[in-house]
Amino acid sequence: MKKFQKIRGMHQVDPNDSEIWSTIAKKIIQIFESYSYKEIRLPIIESTDLFLRSVGEETDIVNKEMFTFESKSGKSLSLRPEGTASCLRASIEMGLTDMGPSRLFYHGPMYRYERPQKGRSREFYQLSVEAYGFDNINIEVEMIEMSFKIFSLLKLRNFGLEINSLGSDETQKKFSKALKDYLYPLKLELDEDSQNRLNSNVLRILDSKNSTTQDILKNAPKISDFYDNESVNRFDQLQSKLVEMKIPFSINKNLVRGLDYYNDLVFEWKSDELGSQNTFCAGGRYDSLSKNLGGRNISATGFSIGLDRLLFSLNKNKEHKFKKRLIVIILENSLFLEGMKISEKIRNEFKNLAVRYDGQKSNLKSQLKKAVKEGYDFAIILGSQEVKKGIFSFKNLKLADNQLSLSEEEIIKTIKDYI
Ligand code: ATP
Ligand code: MG
C-alpha cells in the first residue's frame, strides 16, 4: 500500500529533537515576559487582502510565496506568511490600540511557498514581539537590547547586528526616484524580478539576492542621502545608545527587509554559522501600517526570531540543559504496585525529571542497554528480596559501574545531588 509522506517543506520535528525546540522557545518567551510583553494568540488563516495591503503586493512574500486558497463561500484566504499584519489587525479589532501603548508577543508557524533548502522551509516557526504606541527610539533600543540578551543567554556564537534607516515616507519616495533613474539604463543587466520591479516597487530591488544585481547596486545612490532631519536624529540617537550599552552593530545601507511596511529603523541579527540563509532575527519600525489597515495613526515596532535558523546556529553548542530522565524497572510482575508507587513519589519530588515506568517485568540487561542508548540518566531497579527490606538498586547511567543499594530517601537525596 502507498505510504504517505510529509508535504514538501513542511515542518516536522522528531521526538528526540523536540525538547530543544520547546526548551529554547520557553527561554525566549520567559525573557519577553520579563520585559512585560503579553501573549496574544492569533489565527493561522487570514483574508488574503490583509497581506496584500500590509506586506505589499510587489514583495516576494505576497507575489510568489503565499499559500492562498478559496473558502467555500468564495473568499480568498491565505495561510499567514508572517505575524505582524495579523497582530495589528487583531489589536485594532480588539480595541487594544485605543487603550494606550502595548507590548505583545506571539509565536507559531508561518507559511511561505519558497524553495526548501537549509534554513528555508515552507512552514517555519517564529517568535515575535510587537509594540504599539511608542514614538520614541527607546522602544527600538529595548527591542535590540532584549534580543541581544536572548542570544547572549543562549550562548550563541559568531553573531552580529546590522542596522539601517529607511527614513520617512517622503525619503523613500525621493530615494525610489533616484534609484530608478540610476537603474533604468542598466535594466537589461538586472535579474528578471528586479526588471519588473523597476516600475512597480523599485526599493524591493535592494533586497534582491541575485549577485549581478547586488554588484550593480554597489554604485547606486544611497538612501542616507535623502534622510530628513528627524530621521537623521533618530538614527544618530539610536547608534549612540547602542554604543553606550556596548551592543556591537554595523550599518548595512542595503538592508531594506522583505516587507513593504517599514520606516526608519530596520535591523537584522545574522550568524556566521548559517551559510547563505544567515538572518535569524529581523525587525524594525512600521508607523504607517495601522492606518493602512484602517486603524488609528499609531506607531509600531517589532521583530521576529526565526526559530528554525536560530536552532541551526545553536546546534553545535551542547550547553543547553534538558530534562533528565529516569526509568523504573521491575524484575517481577508482582512488584507492579511497588514500581508505580516509587515512580509517583519521584515524579512528585522532581518536577524536572521525566520518569518512565512500563509496569512489566523485562530483561534487565537489554532494558538498561536501551535506556542508555535513549539517553536516560538514572535507573531504579526493583527486585522482590530488596523491596521487602525497603531497598532499591539505583544506577546512574551516565557513569560506568555505578550501582548502589539505597532506600527511597537516599535515592531522592542522590538524585538531588545530580540535578
Ligand atoms: P529572507 O531574506 O531570509 O527570506 P525574510 O526577510 O523573508 O528572510 P522575515 O520575513 O523578516 O524574513 O522573517 C523573520 C525571520 O524568519 C527571518 O530572519 C528568518 O529567520 C525566518 N524565516 C523567514 N522565512 C523563512 C523560511 N522560509 N524558512 C525558515 N525561516 C524563515
Ligand atoms: Mg524571504
125 CA from centroid of ligand 2 (Å): 13
Residue range(s) in the chain whose domain bears CATH number 3.30.930.10: 15-168+229-314
Nearest of 216, 175, 223, 183 to residue 199 by alpha carbon? 183
Strands (DSSP E) contained in 286-413 are: 300-306, 324-330, 353-357, 378-382, 392-396, 403-406
Ligand closest to the CA atom of residue 257: 1
Contact 121, 113 (CB under 8 A): no
Question: Which stretch of DSSP H or E encloses residue 405?
Answer: strand 403-406
Cα 306 to ligand 1 centroid, rounded to whole Å: 6
Residue whose CA lies nearest to ligand 1 atom number 3: 277
Give me ligand 2 centre to Cα 76, in Å.
Answer: 22
Ligand of minimum distance to the alpha carbon of 120: 1
What's the pLDDT score for residue 260?
74
Where does residue 158 fall: left (phi above 0), alpha (psi -120 to 50 degrees), or beta otherwise?
Answer: left
pTM: 0.89
Q: Which atom of ligand 1 is nearest to the CA of 65?
A: 27
Q: How many Cβ atoms from other residues are within 10 Å of residue 277's Cβ?
A: 16
Q: Which of 124, 261, 311 to mutate to test ligand 1, by most ligand atoms within 8 A of the CB atom?
A: 124
The response to whether residue 258 sits with its C-beta less than 6 Å from ligand 1 reads: yes
pLDDT at 293: 93
**Positions in the chain whose pLDDT score sits under 70:** 258-259, 315-321
Region of 36 (left: φ > 0; alpha: ψ -120 to 50; beta: rest) is left
Q: How far is the CA of 338 from the centre of ligand 1 (A)?
A: 52
Instruction: Please identify, by atom number, the ligand 1 atom nearest to the C-alpha of residue 303.
Output: 14
Looking at residue 316, what is its pLDDT? 57
Q: Closest Cα to atom 5, ligand 1: which residue?
A: 258
Cell 521576529, residue located: 304
- Could you count the other beta carbons within 10 Å of the beta carbon of residue 101? 13
CA angle 410, 416, 419 (to 5 degrees): 145
Q: What is the pLDDT of residue 273?
A: 81
User: Ligand 1 pocket check: which of 277, 310, 313 to mutate, most ligand atoms within 8 Å of Cβ?
Assistant: 277
Report how far ligand 2's centroid is from the alpha carbon of 352 (Å).
Answer: 38
CATH 3.40.50.800 boundaries in the chain = 324-418
**CA 61 to centroid of ligand 2, rounded, Å:** 6
> Which residue minimizes the CA distance to atom 26 of ligand 1?
120
CATH architecture for residues 324-418: 3-Layer(aba) Sandwich (3.40)
| Distance (Å) from CA 193 to ligand 2 centroid | 14
**Phi, psi for residue 324 in degrees, rounded to 5:** -85, 155
Our answer on whether the CB atom of 110 is closer than 6 Å to any ligand 1 atom is no
Q: Are strands 353-357 and 392-396 parallel, antiparallel or unpaired?
A: unpaired
Q: Right CATH number for 15-168+229-314 from 3.30.420.40, 3.40.190.10, 3.30.930.10, 3.40.50.300?
A: 3.30.930.10
